[in-house]
Amino acid sequence: MLGNTFPSSSVATVLVTVMLILALVLAGFSLLNKSVPRLAYVVIGLVEIGLIIMAVISVLAWIGGTAPAEPVVFICYLLACIAIPPAIVWWGVDEPGRWGSGVAAFACLTFAVLIMRVTQVWTGGMGP
């Protein structure tokens, strides 16, 4: 069925909220010329686990007959989302200053937008 609701919209909402809060915190660290705190890495790891849960729920719904409106675009957005959290950690560890926190904050915002797009692509642009 096309044009249906996203099967894991509650997980997506939590992920977007957490990443927006983390983006604000990391932007503050960047303004203070501080590196990414270790707790942020833990949060990013939990977000990655939540994203995997969201992906599994979506695949199970897809197997069950509830397909995304745009399957290829959905898969591409989902793969991009899965790649961002490890990239945040890599950049944050590699760049221990203002730029590490700044790029991590921007990546968190990008992640939040991509998750919102994943839900829109599933529903055919109608939103969650």
What local confidence, expressed as pLDDT, does residue 99 receive?
85
Q: What's the predicted TM-score (pTM) here?
A: 0.82
- Whole-angstrom Cα distance, residue 55 to residue 74? 11
| pLDDT, position 113 | 92
Token pair in block for residue 60: 């199970």
| pLDDT at site 9 | 83
Running along the chain, 128 residues long, what does each successive block of 10 average in pLDDT?
Answer: 66 92 94 90 92 89 85 89 86 80 90 90 67
pLDDT for the residue 11: 86
The answer to whether the beta carbons of residues 77 and 118 sit under 8 Å apart is yes
What is the pLDDT at residue 4?
62
Contact at 8 Å (CB) between 91 and 9? Answer: no
pLDDT at 89: 85
Number of CB atoms found within 10 A of residue 43's CB: 17
